[in-house]
Structure 1
Amino acid sequence: MFRHKLLAAAALAAAVSFQAPVYAQEDAVVAKVGAVEIRQADLDVAITNLSAQYQQMPEEQKKIAALSQIIDIKLVAKKAEEAGLQNSDDFKKRMAALQERELHNAYLRDQFDKLKPEEVKARYDKEVAALPKEEEVRARHILVKTEEEAKAIIKQLDEGKDFVELAKEKSEDTSKSEGGDLGYFTKGRMVPEFEEAAFSLAKGAYTKTPVKSQFGFHVIKVEDKRDAQPPAFEQVEPQVRQIVMQEKYSAIIDGAKAEQKVEIVDETLRKGYDELTKSE
């Protein structure tokens, strides 16, 4: 469940992660359009609003692209003002909607900026504590094409040959350079025949008969068995932070709904909204 939440949190980042641009300490004038100044702060905002395509560019090219957009906007905006378009009802409605969106984002930034590191760590600890116990093994294997080759390797192991050295010498798997080491894995990660054999072995034991799979014949040795380890906090901290932010966002919305009545007059829209909010 924790792993699923971490995957979902990746999608959440785009939805509720609102980062304010970092402004230069000295808000220098970088250009002018007529008498209107374009400052570094304007450029910083424009850079954050560039499309994904532009975001891949080197920093200097991003600045130039952002400046070009600002200049184009100011040139055309001046023409629109001269035409009086700012006084139209449509323009006023759009401006009101933009203001509300920016207020929405500003409030969330303010709330998320107050998120304490210990809250994130506590959420991680809660998820880890709720994880079901699951066994994992660390195994090595030697993969060969024929059953006869596998039996010969098992005979050599019985005679005291070193598994790691035999894997480096005989195995046809890409893990041969690592002595056949496959690391730790839980059930469901390997093909059924391999998995059944690996989990049935005791720590330090190897298979006494070849294990056949779609890849060939395996000789398997289990190096260790333990409870599956959760991902380290440092590894998943950004995703856990997003989970906490998602929960805070839901709490903010629920609290606001308790304070303000939401009424959807159109029945079709109401049913759709109800279904959507139930699934969230």
Structure 2
Amino acid sequence: MKVFRTLSSALLVLLLLVFAAGAETAKTGDPAPEVKAAPSEAKAPADPLTVMARVGETEIRLKDVREILGRLDPQRAAMYDNEMGHRAILEEMVNMELFLLLGRELEVEKDPGFVEMLESVKKDIIRRFAIDRVMKDVKVTPEEIAEFYEKNTENFTVPESVRASHILVSGDQEMEKVREDLKAGMSFEDAAKKHSVCPSKEQGGDLGYFSKGQMVKEFEDAAFAMKVGDVSAEPVKTQFGLHLIKLVEKKDASVRPLEEVKAELVEALENDKKGKIYQDELARLREKYKVEIVGEKKEETKEEVKEEKAREAGK
């Protein structure tokens, strides 16, 4: 299939990243970069260390192909997680290795642009490792989690909500036809499918759950005042037209249990701690390395103000 012959630029970037990190290499003693790929009709072996292709002295193993697959988004991964997809990935990995060999032939490492880019990447990696090193000991204790949860229960409160269905029509004549069908025994859902002008008609008028503030006031007031199973005695008029409402279910306000929100709390508390450490470390570094923003007016210290006043007085 054509879809497997050309991989997207996103996948190519991932391939480059993997090869930049370094694929496993084994010395075979072959001087020429001869490419030997596994035949396409062969079934992919299960052993992750199985060699899938050789490019000169470099071996590409099944686990390398799987690593690429693991870096793809779920939809694309599903597309390539088969024999043809694995072969397509393998072919691109071979291509990237060939370009690596070409780069070495051309001695691109000596190119000034390459050296500059390499130094820039190196600096980025150093920064990332430095920040990770500073943050590595950040931990959140169970006591901190429990305390934050108790003090902020309002943040974990799920408001009262209702589930309702409705039939929306433009005027009184249309609403009368709805009422006639309901009196004749037609179900609310079927009447919605027949008469409603709202897209929800496809679901029998079902609007799902909603809390206060999500619907127009007239509709919301009527829905929240009803009992489960009731159909509004009179149509509710809004800017959209006339609604006949059926209340399907009602949920009282509740607080999400700690276990349900624990992961969110850990992440939030860790981020708070990391943010403080980050700022504290920056303050320490600015003091240590004497940062100066060129052209920015420097704020005078109290001692400097006194000295300035003394000089003025001595004139």
Deviation at 1:174, TM superposition (A): 4.1
Whole-angstrom CA distance in 2 between matches of 1:185 and 1:26: 53
Q: Of residues 81, 101, 106 in structure 2, which corresponds to 1:79? A: 106
Q: Of residues 123, 139, 152 in structure 2, which corresponds to 1:97? A: 123
Q: Of residues 42, 54, 59 in structure 2, which corresponds to 1:31? A: 54
Greater shift, 59-68 or 262-271, is seen at 262-271
Whether 2:214 is the aligned partner of 1:212: answer no
Greater relative contact order structure (CA < 8 Å, 6+ sep) = 1
- CA distance 1:26–1:50, change in 2 (3 Å): closer
Q: Of residues 152, 172, 184 in structure 1, which corresponds to 2:209? A: 184
Task: Indicate the percent of aligned positions where both proteins have the same amino acid.
Answer: 25
8 A contact 1:47–1:66 mirrored in 2:
no
The alignment's TM-score, normalised by the length of structure 1, stands at 0.55
The alignment's TM-score, normalised by the length of structure 2, stands at 0.51
Structure 1 counterpart of 2:18? none
Whether 2:146 is the aligned partner of 1:146: answer no
- CA distance 1:92–1:156, change in 2 (3 Å): closer
SS of equivalent residue, structure 2 residue 107: helix
Structure 1 counterpart of 2:219? 194
Deviations 1:233-265 (A, max 9, x none): 999999778656644643552464466446532
Whether 2:91 is the aligned partner of 1:64: answer yes
Report the number of matched residues: 244
The residue type paired with residue 69 of structure 1 is M
8 A contact 1:144–1:218 mirrored in 2:
yes
Whole-angstrom CA distance in 2 between matches of 1:115 and 1:108: 16
Structure 2 counterpart of 1:276? none
SS of equivalent residue, structure 2 residue 215: coil
Whether 2:252 is the aligned partner of 1:227: answer yes
Whole-angstrom CA distance in 2 between matches of 1:215 and 1:266: 58
8 A contact 1:31–1:39 mirrored in 2:
yes
8 A contact 2:229–2:247 mirrored in 1:
yes
8 A contact 2:168–2:197 mirrored in 1:
yes
- CA distance 1:238–1:198, change in 2 (3 Å): same
* Higher gyration radius (CA): 2
- CA distance 1:81–1:255, change in 2 (3 Å): same
Structure 2 counterpart of 1:13? none
Deviations 1:182-218 (A, max 9, x none): 2211133333432233234344443232223344321
- CA distance 1:29–1:233, change in 2 (3 Å): farther
Whole-angstrom CA distance in 2 between matches of 1:105 and 1:45: 30
The residue type paired with residue 220 of structure 1 is I
SS of equivalent residue, structure 1 residue 224: strand
Greater shift, 216-225 or 186-195, is seen at 186-195
Deviation at 1:155, TM superposition (A): 7.5
Whole-angstrom CA distance in 2 between matches of 1:270 and 1:70: 53
SS of equivalent residue, structure 2 residue 106: helix
Give the helix-richer structure, 1 or 2.
1
Whole-angstrom CA distance in 2 between matches of 1:29 and 1:213: 66
Q: Of residues 260, 269, 293 in structure 2, which corresponds to 1:266? A: 293
The residue type paired with residue 126 of structure 2 is E
8 A contact 1:163–1:179 mirrored in 2:
yes
The residue type paired with residue 207 of structure 1 is S
In structure 1, runs of 5+ residues without a counterpart are: 1-19, 272-280
- CA distance 1:270–1:94, change in 2 (3 Å): farther
Deviation at 1:220, TM superposition (A): 0.9
RMSD: 5.6
Structure 2 counterpart of 1:278? none
The residue type paired with residue 37 of structure 1 is T
8 A contact 1:264–1:270 mirrored in 2:
no
8 A contact 1:22–1:44 mirrored in 2:
no
The residue type paired with residue 223 of structure 2 is A
- CA distance 1:47–1:178, change in 2 (3 Å): closer
Whole-angstrom CA distance in 2 between matches of 1:45 and 1:156: 60
8 A contact 2:158–2:255 mirrored in 1:
no
Deviation at 1:97, TM superposition (A): 1.4
Deviation at 1:76, TM superposition (A): 1.2
